[in-house]
Structure 1
Amino acid sequence: MKASRLLHLLLLLQTRQRTTTTELAARLEVSRRTVLRDVEALSAAGVPVYAERGRSGGIVLLPGARLNASHLEPPELEALSLAGLDSAQRERMGVSAMWESAARKIAARQAATPTGTCPLRLADLVVVDSAPWFADSETAVDVADLASALRHRRRLRIRYRRSAESEASTRVVDPYGIVAKSGRWYLVADYRGDGRLFALDRLSAFELLDAPVSLPPDETLRSRWAALKERTEGRGRVSVTFRLPEDRLDLARRILGTRIHDVSDPENGTCTVVVGYPDIESVRQLLQFGDHIDILAPEAARVRISQLARILAERLSASSS
C-alpha cells in the first residue's frame, strides 16, 4: 500500500536525513522512479523533503524537521510485547512485519533524540538469541494459526504423540496459551483438570471445538507455566551422587543445569556432585560423561549405569564383528 510505503520512507529519512535513491529503492523494494514520485508526493503535502542532484546528492529531509511518524499502532505494540522471541520465532508467529515496522519507528525516534556522551544504543551492544545450539525447532503445526485459534478461548481437540510413543493419540484440552522455551514451542493446557505441556514438534494437528475453555478462574498462562516449570525443574525424587574431574564441571553445569543440587570443593582434582532425577531410569543422562564419571550413590543408580554401559558395549561389539 502506498500510504504504508510513504510512512516507511519518512521513517528512513528521519533516521538518516540524507539517503540515495538507490538505497531507498532497495529498502522499499520499489524502483528508483517510484521513490522519486513518492518524494514529490510528500513534498506536495508539505513535508520538508526534496531530491538533490549531483554526485553527493540524494533524498534529503531538512535538518531539524520533527515528524510525528513514530506513533505505534496496536498491532505494532502487540508485536513488541513479544520481545523475548527471536527473528525465526517472530516469523512463525506471523508478527515479523509489525515488529519491523515498530522497530523503524523507534529507530526514527531515537535518531531525533540527542545521544549525549553515549554514541551507541544498548541494542547495538546486546543480541538476544533464545534458540539453543544445533537445535531444530520445526513444528508440525503452524504456530501463528494455533495462536489465532487460541484467541477464541475454546477447547481444542489435538493429535499428540508422547515422547515414549510411536503413534499420536487424540485428546481434548483446555488451552491457556503458547510458550517459547529454549527454542522450542509448547502448548500449555489443562488435560482432565491437570496442567500439561504439549511440545508443538509432537503436536500433529488441532481442531477448535464449540465448547468454551474450562479453566480455574484464578489461573492464567503465566501462573500455570510457572507451576509447570517448577514441576519440571524442581528437586527430583531421586538424588544421585557422583564424582567428576574438576575440568569437567563446566560441561556438567551446561548439561545438567538446575538438576545440580550441590557441588563440593575440588579435592585431588575431582569434585563430588549431587543431582536430582524423577526416577532411577533418568540416570542414563549421565552416560554422556563417559569414563570421566564415577557414580557413588545410590546403589540402584550404580547398577543401572553399569547395565546400560554393558548393553552399549555389547551392541557396539556385535556391530563391529
Structure 2
Amino acid sequence: MKASRLLHLLLLLQTRQRITTTELATRLEVSRRTILRDVEALSTAGVPVYAERGRNGGIVLLPGARLNASHLEPRELEALSVAGLDSAQLETLRLSAVRESAALKMAARQGPASESRDQPQLSDLVLVEGNAWFSESDAGVDVADLALALRGRCQMRILYRRSGEEQDSTLVVDPYGIVAKSGRWYLIADDHGTGRLFALARLRKFETLNAPATLRPDQNLRSVWATLKERTESPGKFSVRVRLKESRLDLARRILGTRIHEVTDADKGWCTATIGYHDIESVRQLLQFGDNIEVLAPPSARARIHQLAKDLADRHCTD
C-alpha cells in the first residue's frame, strides 16, 4: 500500500537523512522509478525531501527537518499518497482537511522558518493545478462515495451513457479505481475482461454488488490506465493531409497534440501537416479552425468536411 510505503520511506530518511535510491528500492521492495515517484509526490506535498544526482547522490531529507511521520494519522498519510491532486480534487475526495492537518504537523516538526528554512521548499516554488482551464466538476456521481465503494474490491453495476448515445446502458464491471485527468474523473474497469475508461460525467449511478471483482492477475490501476491512455492518445490509422496557416500552428499543436505530425516549413504563410484519426468522422474536429485550414487528402475526408461545412452554412442561412 502506497501510504505505508511513504511512511516507511520517511522514517528511513529521518534516521539517516541520505540513502541511495537503489537501497531504498531494495528495502521497500519496489523499483527505483517508484521510489523517485514517491519522492516527487512527497516534495509536492511539502515534505523537504529530494533526489540528489551524482556518484554520491541519493534521496535526501533536508538537514534540520525532523519529521516524525508516526504522528500522522492514516487518513493524513492517504492524503499524502495522492499528493499529485490539486486542492479542488482533494476536496472532491473529501481529503482537503486531512491534507491541511498533515501539512501543519510537518510544519510544526520542522521548527521556526528562521531555523530550518535557509532556502525555499519545493512547495513554495511549485504549484500543481490539475484542472483544465474554464472547467467545472462534471462528475455525475459523488466521487468520494465512489472511491469509498471501490475499497471493497467488488463488482459494480453502473448506469452509463456512452458517448454519442442518448440512452443509458446498464453494465456490470470489475473496477480497478478512478483517475483524475485534466480536471475530469474516470472510472477504470474491466468490461467482460477488457479494460475500459468510463467518464464520470456520463456515469449516472453505481451499485456495489456482493461478488468480488474479477481482476486480471497481471494488471492493476496504473497498468490498465497506461494502456488505455496510450490507446486514446495514439494518432490512429486514418491519416488526413491538411494545409494550415502558420499563425495557427501553435494552436493546432495544443488542440491536436500527438495527432499532428509531419509538419513542413511554411511557404507564403501556410504549412502542410498530417493528422491521425481513428475514423473519418473525427475530421469534424477540424471545423474549429475555420478558414485557417484546408483538407487536402484523402478525397473522402475532403468530401466529408465539405458536407459538414455545407450543413453548417445551411443551418445558419439568414434567408
Structure 2 length normalisation: TM-score?
A: 0.75
**8 Å CA contact retained: 2:67, 2:106:** no
Q: How does 1:218-297 map to 2 (within 5 A)?
A: 218-297=218-297
Instruction: Tell me the amino acid that sits aligned with residue 115 of structure 1.
Output: R
Tell me if the contact between 1:70 and 1:108 (Cα under 8 Å) persists in the aligned partners.
Answer: no
Cα gap change, 1:211 to 1:70, in 2 (>3 Å): closer
State the match for 1:311 in structure 2: 311
CA separation of 1:244/1:176 partners in 2, compared to 1, >3 Å: closer, same or farther?
Answer: same
Distance in 2 (CA, whole Å) between partners of 1:110 and 1:256 is 45
Higher radius of gyration, 1 or 2: 1
CA distances 1:27-53 after superposition (whole Å, capped 9, x unpaired):
xxxxxxxxxxxxxxxxxxxxxxxxxxx
Q: Is the 8 A contact 2:67 2:109 kept in 1?
A: no
**Which secondary structure state, in structure 1, belongs to the residue aligned with residue 116 of structure 2?**
coil
How many residues are matched?
253
The aligned runs of 1:48-59 (5 Å cut-off) are none
| 1:38 corresponds to | none
Any conservation in 1 of the 2:67–2:110 contact (CA below 8 Å)?
no
Distance 1:67 1:159 in 2: 46
Amino acid in the other structure paired with 2:252: A
Residue 189 of structure 1 pairs with residue 189 of structure 2: yes
Q: Deviations over 1:16-72 (max 9, x none)?
A: xxxxxxxxxxxxxxxxxxxxxxxxxxxxxxxxxxxxxxxxxxxxxxxx9x9969832
Match of 1:211 in 2: 211
Could you say what secondary structure the match of 1:128 adopts? coil
> Does the residue aligned with 2:316 lie in a helix, a strand or coil?
helix
Aligned to 2:117: 115
**Counterpart in 1 of 2:26?**
none
Q: Distance in 2 between matches of 1:214 and 1:102?
A: 35
Aligned alpha-carbon RMSD (Å): 1.9
Deviations 1:224-251 (A, max 9, x none): 0000011111131201111111111111
Q: Deviations over 1:126-160 (max 9, x none)?
A: 22111111122221211111111111010000000
* Structure 2 counterpart of 1:36: none
- Find the aligned partners of 1:68 and 1:183 in 2 and give their Cα distance: 33
> Aligned ranges for residues 1-321 of structure 1 at < 5 Å?
71-112=71-112, 114-116=116-118, 118=119, 120-317=120-317, 320-321=318-319
Judge conservation of contact 2:68–2:109 (CA < 8 Å) in 1: no
Query: 1:92-113 deviations in whole A, cap 9, x for unaligned?
Result: 1111111111111223344445
State the one-letter code of the partner of 1:141: V
How far does residue 267 in structure 1 lie from its aligned partner after superposition? 2.2
Distance in 1, Cα, partners of 2:67 & 2:266: 62
- The residue identity in structure 2 corresponding to 1:265 is D
Aligned-partner SS, 1:263: coil
Q: 1:106 to 1:68 in 2, by over 3 A?
A: closer
* Contact 2:131 2:183 survives alignment (8 Å): yes
Q: Name the stretch that deviates more: 97-106 or 225-234.
A: 97-106
Whole-Å separation in 1 of the counterparts to 2:224 and 2:286: 30
* TM-score relative to the length of structure 1: 0.75
| Separation in 1, partners of 2:144, 2:106 | 25
Kept in 1: contact 2:238–2:276 (CA 8 A): yes
1: distance between equivalents of 2:293 and 2:177? 41
Distance 1:68 1:295, change over 3 A: closer
Are the structure 2 counterparts of residues 111 and 255 from structure 1 closer, same or farther at C-alpha, using a change threshold of 3 Å? farther
Unaligned runs of 5+ in 1: 1-63
